[in-house]
Amino acid sequence: MCGIIGAVAESAINPVLEGLGRLEYRGYDSSGISILSNNEIQTIKAQGKLNNLKQRLSMQPLEGDCCIGHTRWATHGKANVTNAHPHQCGQVSVVHNGIIENYLQLKQQLMQWGHHFNSSTDSEVIPHLINHYLAQQMSQEEAIEQTINQLKGSYALGVLINGASKNLYAIKQGSPLVISQGNNGAYMASDAMALGPDSGKIYYPKDNELIKLNTNEIKLCSGSLNKKIHYINNKHCTKVISKGDHSSFMEKEIFEQVDLLKRLSVNNHTGEYSTIDFINLNKITIIACGTSYYAASVAKTWFEKYANILVEIDIASEYRYRSPIIIDNELVIFVSQSGETADTLAALRYAKSKQSQTLALVNVANSTIAREANFTFEIFAGPEIGVASTKAFTCQLAIFYKMAIEAAKQRAFIDDVEVKQLALNFVQLPYIMEKVLQRCTDMKKMARKLSHYSNALFLGRGSLTAIAQEGALKLKEISYIHAEAYAAGELKHGPIALLDEHMPVLVIAPKNALTDKLLSNIQEVQARNAPLLIIGDSSIREQINLQEDEFFELPEIPESILPIISVIPMQLLALYTAQMLGKNVDQPRNLAKSVTVE
């Protein structure tokens, strides 16, 4: 979603522009800055990529020591310069991430008071309200607090005020915000990754704590004035993230999975997982969005099959609105790469309000979901920059797999030999994955074929249904080819009506107990002249006549780890298809890396 950065430092525009660069990975459609320069707030905005903003700034260089910046992901109003942030009213300029739900009422009220609005955004009411209260002789702090008392919804704000004193304020409600006191300045951002090297110490403000940033100090303005800020180490600050020799971050992240899984399989974190009392659990509920939800779908099959635990999964945006039945000894697990997804966070807060035991599985250690859950496990995928999630998915699966082994051990549902076999399969996993990745060029042929179509159906069975769904999601996200996924047995219950020579059907068909059933589904596809693409075992090719660009061979894979390996060809297929169509795979249109609004 929107990215925010602010700095009070010498030549503050530099850390702000660098921060906006570091926020680019989140996806955005416009950007802008406001700077206190020559006793005036100067605001410059541009539609499209950050380079457009930089170009505008190169024609109009600005100097100043107090600056805010923003990358916008449109919610209210089109992606254009007028709707881009910062929004300014008089000597108040604001950057906002989140949604102001009651902005229409506030706007009406302000218009009655004589205010004129330029944009269609919800955010523009904020500088107008602050300005209104300043005009009533309130102090800057009072004007901001009075304003946020009126706002309904979620927000992280950077507020620049050019008054008798010139200040940068930060405040949040429900949206992520981080501040940092460096040696050369003070900074605020929506994401610790946006902060530069001068930000070793960070602080995550609580909701509605008003913070004033100065070069000399960062001050809590609300609540107890004597309250000290307790900083923690910024894990992101020294890491330089580059795509190395790869054509994109997504490609790098796909190929990185082998090493990550080697590390996860050698590094036996089971100590952590044994802290969960699986024996007395009556139910696990797993809640997530998007790709993380598909990881939950696979995890359900493992917990049920190997540990005989009842598992319910739910989409985070639905959970708290459906009156879920929460039972005794239920563990509610929240899966989120970013740890900031608004729907998942809201579901977590709902579960906590019902006294559930909550566990977070996150990639970003200090994220809000990690901080708020009763327990947190990291997935150790490292920063994921490609907007479409790849390595976080396989690392989520790896952690779930380890948890399922621990659950199987504790509940003794399968015998020791089977438990040992599960563990052994996990050790083999990265090596089998490596074999699949070594044959990546074969996938380019299939990608070329798929790139000629506008729609596709993906089929899988068992735990691979979730992998087919994940593959279809990846393809839509970055190539914009419409793809839907089904459990293969569902084909004849409706989607088969779509089949003709314009609708390719991709089937994940490894060698397992369901191969024969899949063969029947494959024949149903062939009978309707739909182009067939198979990611599967070599035995399938012996039975069905397939061209080189219609088949990607999977090596023999132990059943338990099939989903973790089978997703690799799906990721490659999406990547290569999108690249052949000339799409920007790291920053697909309309998508944001961290979805911080409901």
Phi-psi region of 240 (alpha: psi -120 to 50; beta: other; left: phi over 0): beta
Q: Between 42 and 291, whose beta carbon lies closer to ligand F6R?
A: 291
Q: Between 43 and 396, whose beta carbon lies closer to ligand F6R?
A: 396
Comparing CA positions, the residue from 429, 423, 473 lying closest to residue 578 is: 473
* Residues 579, 480 contacting (CB under 8 angstroms): no
**Is 305 annotated in the active site?**
no
CB 326 to ligand F6R: min, Å? 21
Q: Between 344 and 587, whose beta carbon lies closer to ligand F6R?
A: 344
CB 438 to ligand F6R: min, Å? 24
Q: Is the dihedral of CA 28, 212, 371, 330 positive or negative?
A: negative
Q: Is the dihedral of CA 365, 366, 369, 371 positive or negative?
A: positive
* Residues 30, 50 contacting (CB under 8 angstroms): no
Q: Between 468 and 473, whose beta carbon lies closer to ligand F6R?
A: 473
Residues ≥6 apart with Cβ < 8 Å to 548:
442, 445
CB 292 to ligand F6R: min, Å? 4
CB 336 to ligand F6R: min, Å? 3
Options 2, 67, 221, 289, the catalytic residue: 2
- The two three-digit tokens of residue 519, written as one number: 């063969």
Options 172, 409, 583, 593, the catalytic residue: 593
d(CA 583, CA 476): 12
Q: Between 103 and 350, whose beta carbon lies closer to ligand F6R?
A: 350
d(CA 573, CA 469): 14
Q: Say how far residue 258 (Cα) sits from the centre of its chain.
A: 21
Q: Between 336 and 366, whose beta carbon lies closer to ligand F6R?
A: 336
**Is 49 annotated in the active site?**
no
Query: 455-460 and 482-487 as β-strands: parallel, antiparallel, unpaired?
Result: parallel
Q: Between 359 and 496, whose beta carbon lies closer to ligand F6R?
A: 359
CB 416 to ligand F6R: min, Å? 34
CB 297 to ligand F6R: min, Å? 12
CB 472 to ligand F6R: min, Å? 11
Q: Between 276 and 388, whose beta carbon lies closer to ligand F6R?
A: 388
Kindly give the interhelix angle for 440-450 and 562-580, rounded to the nearest 10 degrees.
Answer: 60
Q: Which residues bind ligand F6R (CB under 6 A)?
A: 289-292, 336-338, 341, 344, 388-389, 473, 477, 595
In the complex, residue closest to ligand F6R by CB: 290
Query: 30-37 and 551-553 as β-strands: parallel, antiparallel, unpaired?
Result: unpaired
- The two three-digit tokens of residue 59, written as one number: 């024609």
Q: Between 243 and 476, whose beta carbon lies closer to ligand F6R?
A: 476
CB 398 to ligand F6R: min, Å? 15
- Looking at residue 202, what DSSP letter applies? E
Backbone angles phi, psi at 300, to 5 degrees: -55, -45
CB 567 to ligand F6R: min, Å? 11
d(CA 357, CA 89): 46
CB 572 to ligand F6R: min, Å? 15
The helix (H) or strand (E) run that includes residue 107 is helix 103-112
Q: What angle do CA 268, 274, 275 make, to 5 degrees?
A: 125
* Residues 363, 225 contacting (CB under 8 angstroms): no
d(CA 124, CA 478): 32
Q: What angle do CA 255, 194, 361 make, to 5 degrees?
A: 55
Comparing CA positions, the residue from 280, 277, 284, 267 lying closest to residue 406 is: 277
d(CA 359, CA 303): 16
Q: Which amino acid is at 527?
A: A
Q: Between 351 and 503, whose beta carbon lies closer to ligand F6R?
A: 351
CB 95 to ligand F6R: min, Å? 22
Q: Say how far residue 84 (Cα) sits from the centre of its chain.
A: 22
As a three-state string, the secondary structure of 422-473 is: HHHHHHHHHHHHHHHHHCHHHHHHHHHHHCCCCEEEEEECCCHHHHHHHHHH
Q: Between 162 and 336, whose beta carbon lies closer to ligand F6R?
A: 336
- The two three-digit tokens of residue 65, written as one number: 């020591």
As a three-state string, the secondary structure of 333-379 is: EEEECCCCCHHHHHHHHHHHHCCCEEEEEECCCCCHHHHHCCEEEEC
Residues ≥6 apart with Cβ < 8 Å to 155:
96, 97, 98, 99, 100, 126, 148, 171, 172, 173, 174, 175
> Looking at the annotation, which residues are catalytic?
2, 593
